Amino acid sequence: MEYARAAARLANGEFDAGNHYSFRLTLVGLTALSYKLFGINDWASALPPLIFFIGTLALVYRILKDESGPILAIGLALFSLNNWTFFYSDKLMPDVAVTFFAFLFCYVIYSYKYLPRKMPEQAYSLLAALALFMCFNSKETVVLLGPLVVWLMVTDIVQKRSGRFWLQFVGFSLVMLAAYLVVCQVAFGNAITRFNAIVANSYLNSCSYDQQPFSETLKRITFGLAELFLTQDMLLGFLVVLLAFFFVPVRQLLKLSDRKSFFIVSSVVLVFSANFMSISVTSYIPMCPDPRHYLFIVPVVAVAAAFILNDYLRVFRFRIGFFVFVLIAFGFSLFLKSETGFHLYLPVLVAIGCFVFLRNHMHAQRIFAILLFGALLFQPADMFIYARNVNYRKQKEIVQRELIDKNQPCVVITDEVQKRLGNYYSGFSLEATCQFINYAEADTFHFQKNVKKMLLNNWYTRYLSGMDDQDMPYYATIAKNPVFMDEKLNLSIFELNKIDQRKRIFSSENDFETAKPNWADSANKSKEQAYSGSFSEKIGEFSVSCTIALDSLLPDSTSQLVISSKLKIFAINSSECNLVISMDSDGKQYFWKGYDLSKYVKSKTSWWTASLNEIVGRPEIKKNSMLRIYVWNNKKNEIYIDDFKVELFSVAN
């Protein structure tokens, strides 16, 4: 939604130089044009990524169009039916643009080196430089192409060929970069405004490897990316590329003697770059293991695999090797409990097995292509079925019909993802009659008397926001009498009179600086880490416990007890631990619930906030009950906690 918002502002003649997303102009600019022509809607948002996807598909076709029908079909399928390529083909994300321009760069170099030249040499070098420049204007991940550019350049220079081409390429690239910096200086008063915006908008997350123990970086560069490729349908084409090293002479590969060698080497260099290359110049930070960041590799690998299959698919030893490689991938996927094993690798194994069995059949290659195409369809088909069940179109229709189109002033309280979607449906208009805010914003929002307060609970967008029931505010979990409800979609709309109908009956916070009532003294106070003050608690197996006698606290009118817990947590390595809420009566425990706290820890060696609510009905609470809240560190990980706060609220009948 950030790209949609930036495009909407650009369509209105505004440019937010403080937002680094605004500088991804190939996507944002094309989307702004689409919004100008068609309005802010789903079709206009999907059009730019579809153009980039179709453009990449067209380049794959142009490279493989002279091959046999089965090989052409396999190459196109390996690209377009890749799980994540297919998923992002209509999503407003810059990675699809990066894929197109990165592959366009490879296509220009390929055309210059291996096809009859139809243009002057400087035209090829200009187009190659322009492709990289447009990639730079799509997303900063263009840096991952750096090793490939250097490899291709050095290979040609060592073999004393294409020197003038590369000299022109470097010259054109420097001119474009200089022009870009001059434009930024003139427009914003600072040539490096974009880079300053990147720094200003950076935030701590699970991929902030410079802020975490080196073990996290080591996991990422040893097996992290390989595991991602294996479980996220990014590996199949690369298995073919790896197998080629047993058949293609190394000297031929190093010299880039033919187009097959060019795409094989390009695939390998790009994968190594994706695995090891740092995206920061000040610290070693490999790219975050998210499939969309690596989509630019997929078409290169698809073409390489198509060329390899064309040359070696008839070789029995190659077919057996391919079967073994996929079988190993299938085994690892089962070990990692990944659905990709049955959705991808098993169907591909069946396709290869049939081809081995039919190796002497005159149409064996065609049959294999059909079977492989069918195998590659499993994951997109599964994605299509899931999308049908989620039914985004109906969700949108409900929000528009029940809230936006009524043109009645209202403030809709919802989760973060639904908030962004709601504002997008309203065209990001600041004058929209229906405003969407998230739960956290509702705590401090100034509600006007003549404006309705609405609550929108949508299971799917709540899931996308990373929220469980315990993360929801109390009023969102107990809302009754919806003005609209769709049970199948688990989507409800409520009109709120009062946001919070609770009465606080207990509140205590342990900052581990001094002794506190209801809290036992901690034997593990530590000065090693502290969020506030000088001390925190370094948890052993159990943290200090907050113990509360309930009988004297609960008013007779209580129908529900809301237990609210909030604490700061700091993990050195593993963050696996649980917040426990238990109740016992006369020494016998009758209530126990544990809540995973690791989901709140986005990165190691930094402080994070964990906050959750538990609602207990009054009939469940026995006489003489003692309530205990503590952290259970059952694996004795090195974890610190601070500012441990417990609040109890009574809800009347």
Per-residue pLDDT tens over the stretch 337-380: 999 999 999 999 999 988 877 766 667 788 889 999 999 999 89
How confident is the model over 284-297, as a mean pLDDT? 94
Arithmetic mean of pLDDT, 205-218: 85
pLDDT in tens, 568-588: 999 998 889 999 999 999 889
Local confidence band at 473 (pLDDT 50, 70, 90 cut-offs): confident
Q: Which residue has the tokens 């064996």?
A: 364
pLDDT for res 498: 67
Confidence of residue 134 (pLDDT cuts 50, 70, 90): very high
Residue 224 in domain: yes
Mean pLDDT of the region 66-81: 95
Q: Is 322 a member of any domain?
A: no
Residues 62, 142 within the same domain? yes
Indicate whether 203 pLDDT > 80. Answer: no
- Write 202-208 long-range contacts (CB < 8 A, 24+): 204/602, 204/603, 204/606, 205/288, 205/602, 205/603, 206/288, 206/602, 206/603, 207/285, 207/287, 207/288, 207/289, 207/603, 208/285, 208/603, 208/606
Average of per-residue pLDDT values in the chain: 92
Whether residue 651 has pLDDT greater than 70: yes
Question: Which pLDDT belongs to residue 499?
Answer: 64
Average pLDDT over residues 79-94: 95
Spatial separation of the C-alpha atoms in residues 609 and 440, rounded to whole Å: 13
Which tens digit of pLDDT belongs to each residue from 238-251?
Answer: 999 999 999 999 99
- Please report the pLDDT score of residue 449 as a whole number: 81
Residue 548 and residue 480 in one domain: no
Q: Could you tell me the sign of the dihedral formed by the alpha carbons of 88, 90, 93, 95, in that order?
A: positive
Which pair of structure tokens corresponds to residue 101?
């321009």
Q: How many distinct structural domains can be found in the chain? A: 3
Domain end call among 259, 291, 312: 312
In tens, the pLDDT along 402-414 reads 999 988 899 999 9
Last residue of a domain, one of 480, 496, 512: 496
Q: Based on the domain organization, do 461 and 529 belong to the same domain?
A: no
In the chain, % of residues over pLDDT 70: 99
Same domain membership, residue 512 and residue 490: no
Contact indicator for 400, 391 with CB cutoff of 8 Å? no
Burial annotation 486-499 (CB, 10 A radius, 16+ → b, else e):
beebebbbbebeeb
> pTM here?
0.89
- CATH of residue 586's domain is 2.60.120.260
Average pLDDT, integer, range 179-202:
92
Residue 444: burial class (beta carbons within 10 Å; 0-12, 13-18, 19+): exposed
CB atoms within 10 A of CB 404: 20
pLDDT at 151: 97
Q: Quick one: 77 and 96 in the same domain?
A: yes
Give me the domain span that covers residue 103: 2-312
Looking at the fold, whether 514 and 487 belong to one and the same domain comes out as no
For residue 500, pLDDT beyond 70: no
Phi, psi (5° rounding) for residue 543? -85, 175
Residue 312 banded pLDDT, cuts 50, 70, 90:
very high
Clarify whether residues 93 and 221 are in a common domain.
yes
- Mean pLDDT over 626-645 rounds to 95
pLDDT for 343? 92
Cα separation, 19 vs 306, in Å, equals 41
The answer to whether residue 371 sits within a structural domain is: no
Same domain? For 560 and 576 the reply is yes
Residue 327 lies in a domain: no
Do 487 and 558 have their domain in common?
A: no
| Structural domain contains residue 354 | no
User: Do 74 and 159 lie in a common domain?
Assistant: yes
Is the distance from CB of 144 to CB of 99 less than 8 angstroms? Answer: no
pLDDT tens digits, residue range 409-463?
Answer: 999 999 999 999 999 999 998 888 999 999 989 888 888 888 899 999 999 999 9
Judge if 586 and 479 occupy the same domain: no
Whether residues 460 and 546 fall in one domain = no
Give the C-alpha separation, 236 to 77, whole Å.
12
Q: Which of 276, 295, 312 is the last residue of a domain?
A: 312
Q: Confirm whether 387 is domain-assigned.
A: no
> Which tens digit of pLDDT belongs to each residue from 141-156?
899 999 999 999 999 9
Highest mean pLDDT among 93-107, 303-317, 528-542: 93-107
- Would 351 be classed as within a structural domain? no
The maximal CA–CA distance of the chain, rounded, in angstroms, is 91
Helix (H) or strand (E) holding 650: strand 639-652
Residue 151 forms part of a structural domain: yes
